[in-house]
Amino acid sequence: MIEQDMRDRIIAAPETLLEDQDVMRALVSANERAMGSNIVDLRGIAMERLETRLDRLEDTHRSVIAAAYENLAGTNQVHRAILQMLDPLTFEDFLKSLSGQVMQTLRVDCARLVLESVQNTDDPALRKLGEVLYVAEPGFIADYIAGGRNVSLRPVTLRQVVPASDALYGDRAGWIRSEALLRLDFGKGRLPGMLVLGAEDPHQFKPTQGTDLLAFFAGVFERTMRRWLS
């Protein structure tokens, strides 16, 4: 027999039992045992299948919400980096911002701006601009993105990689494990550029990730660079 106090509470609020899945499963199992093994409860089977579908829907719902929050956080992150990138009034300050605030906001461990040039890449004036600027010979960007393979070049390339040399990253090459390569178009008659974002985390940039936000960032970046190159 059920104790009177528990019985009164159940009668007063029966919905508490209906909302508790473990209690309801125990009651259904007890009912099936009482009916005997020669009776098939089709309603119980249908309810189990509905519960399984509901669990899957709830998991999907949680995944969609988590992805939405992640996308919103990524959008805000890129927007903050763009505002920081637009603040500098000189090219030197622009490069310092790229290797400072912008890099920290994007949560990357290394940033490099690659510019192709037919002029002397060892010009002392270029070295004064800091290590964030890397001046290379024409064709370097396409070769670096392709990595010796015959592939079509995309505006944004995400990959997990161990740098083959320290030419681009310098002394940081030893711990870079993933990178984002953003191709830059500076306009007709100008050689291309590339913004490289390197990360120690091998899972920060992967080929399966979306590139819309980084493509938008690259679009703003190359338009800002045209101002400095004009």
Along the 230 residues of the chain, how does pLDDT read in single tens digits? 678 787 788 778 877 777 777 777 777 777 666 666 666 566 666 777 777 888 888 888 887 787 777 778 788 889 999 999 888 888 888 888 888 899 999 999 999 999 988 775 555 555 556 678 888 889 899 999 988 777 778 899 999 988 878 888 888 888 999 999 999 998 888 888 999 999 999 999 999 888 899 999 999 999 888 887 77
Domain limits of the chain?
90-229
Contact yes or no for 171/230 (Cβ under 8 A): no
Q: What is the mean pLDDT of the chain?
A: 82
CA distance 224 to 230: 10
Taking the alpha carbons at both ends of the chain, their separation in whole angstroms is 90
pTM: 0.69
Q: Determine how many CB atoms are found less than 10 A away from the CB of residue 132.
A: 19
CATH 3.30.450.40 assigned to domain 90-229? The reply is yes
